[in-house]
Structures are given as structure tokens and as C-alpha cells.
Amino acid sequence: MNALTNHKNILSIAMTTALGVGLSHAALISSSIPTVGETGGFSDGVGDYFGIVTGGLIAGNTFSPNTTTPPEGALAGRDLDDGGALPADRTAEWSLPLPGGATPPMSSIIFNGSIAARDSTSWDASDSIKLELFIDGLIADSIEFRPNNPTSTTSLAEDTNADNIGDGPAINPLAPYAFQLSSPTTANTGVTVKITAHSDSANEEFWVSGTLSAEVDTSGTVPEPSSTMLLGLAGSILIFRRKK
């Protein structure tokens, strides 16, 4: 390599570094605590509830059996209609809006979750727990858990073929079931995972936890190079050319 070629390489590196051209500024953002939906959370003080786990408790209630403690920040519920007095359908969301200063799109979108449910014989055909991944308001992926016997009360399991019957492994409170929602689609405005749960019996108890994450481009926040820096680079180029 001659001196001229070597000098050009050094100059190219200096300009790329100074101007920030073509540099990657990817940042990982995530959300692990859901927000309860419009129907809200509740606790009747004697065992029925829906809300975010804090210190292993939701307004004094522990997950059954009491040897099992849901993760901090998980969404948990039991008998969501409180004996018929309240709506049996409840919702919550994990959300990731495009951060201020970040440049769309958001990529590498993924939700890593886990679910545990009381493995009693109380989940009936009307019960379900469904999670949907929305990218810019459109569904990109989903998973649903249903009773594994539609004609009797039984345990929850993943419905892998969308026939409203849980045909995956039965879910129990002591061994959480891991799952994942993802899509190669990128987002321009935001990403959301929505959970819709229905239970209407005292033994229909569950918790769901997870982390929604995505990568965003923060290169738009890099300051523009100063005019002094640009003039300095231009001067270096002129000096080099005169010395050739």
C-alpha cells in the first residue's frame, strides 16, 4: 500500500467518524409491566382479583396453592366476574411506543412470556386466555390458552390449531409454560401485546408475565457536525492535494 492510498483510507475513516455517516445507533427498549385495561383491576378481599402482582400479593391475596408466588410485575387473576357481579372479560397491555428522538422503524420485535394456571377441574369451554401482538395497530402474532376438554371442566393448555381446544401440555401453577410472540414485520409508531382473559369460577386462577422488546435507531439524535469541523476537514484535503 503506497502513502497516497494509506492517506485516503485514514481520511475516509476520519470523515465517517466526524460526520456520523452510516453509523449504527441501535438501542434495545423493553416493557415488562403491563397496564390494566379499561375494565380495570379489582380485589374483593376474599380471593377474587385481577391486577399486577406487588410483593407476591394482589390486595392481600396469594396465588393458589399458596406455595407458589407469581413473579413481581406479573398480571394475575381469579374468578374475574367475582361471582357474577363483575365483567368476566378483562384486558391488559404491554406497550412500546416509538421513543422520542428515535427513527423508525422498530425492529427485532419479540415478546417472551410465561403463564401458570391452577390445574384444577374448573376451566370450562367458555374460558380462555389470549395474547395478541399488535404492530402499528395490526395483529402480527397471537397465542391462546383454552381448556383441554370442551365437554367438562379441566386444565388449560395452548390451543395450537385454533379449534378452541387446548391441545398442548396442560398448564399448572408449579411449572410455568414459556411461550413467545414475534414477527419479522417492523413498526413505525409502536408495538403492543394485549391479553384478554375470561374466567368465571373461584378455581380459575392464573398469572402471566413477560417482556416486550424491540430495537430502535437512535442515530437521529446524533448532533450535526459543526462548521468548524467541516472546514478543518476541507482544509486537510486541500493541504494534502497541494503536497502530492
- How does pLDDT run across 66-92, given as a tens digit for each residue? 556 788 889 988 888 877 778 788 999
Report domain extents, the chain.
26-40+79-220
CA-CA distance, 233 to 244, in Å (whole number)? 17
Asked whether the beta carbons of 75 and 61 are under 8 A apart, the reply is: no
Burial of 107 from C-beta contacts in 10 A (0-12 / 13-18 / 19+): middle
What is the pLDDT, as a whole number, of residue 217?
A: 87
* pTM for this predicted structure: 0.76
Cα 227 to chain centroid, rounded: 42
Q: What is the pLDDT of residues 108-146, one digit of tens each?
A: 999 999 999 887 667 888 899 999 999 999 999 999 999
Burial of 149 from C-beta contacts in 10 A (0-12 / 13-18 / 19+): middle
Largest CA distance in the chain: 90
The stretch 146-161 carries a mean pLDDT of 88
What is the pLDDT, as a whole number, of residue 91?
A: 93
> 40-44, 132-136, 188-192 — which is least confidently predicted?
40-44
By DSSP bridging, strand 103-117 and strand 156-158 are unpaired
Quick one: CA dihedral 56, 57, 63, 65, positive or negative? positive
Q: Identify which of 7, 12, 36 has the alpha carbon closest to the alpha carbon of residue 22.
A: 12
CA-CA distance, 145 to 176, in Å (whole number)? 13
Q: Identify which of 158, 159, 143, 150 has the alpha carbon closest to the alpha carbon of residue 126.
A: 150
Label residue 40 by pLDDT band (50, 70, 90). Answer: confident
Higher per-residue pLDDT: 173 or 179: 179
Provide the percentage of residues in the chain whose pLDDT is more than 90. 39
What is the pLDDT, as a whole number, of residue 31?
A: 94
What is the pLDDT, as a whole number, of residue 158?
A: 95
The stretch 237-242 carries a mean pLDDT of 46
> 42-56, 175-189, 204-218 — which is least confidently predicted?
42-56
**In CATH, what number does 26-40+79-220 get?**
2.60.120
DSSP string, 155-174: -EEE-SSSSSS--SPBP-SS
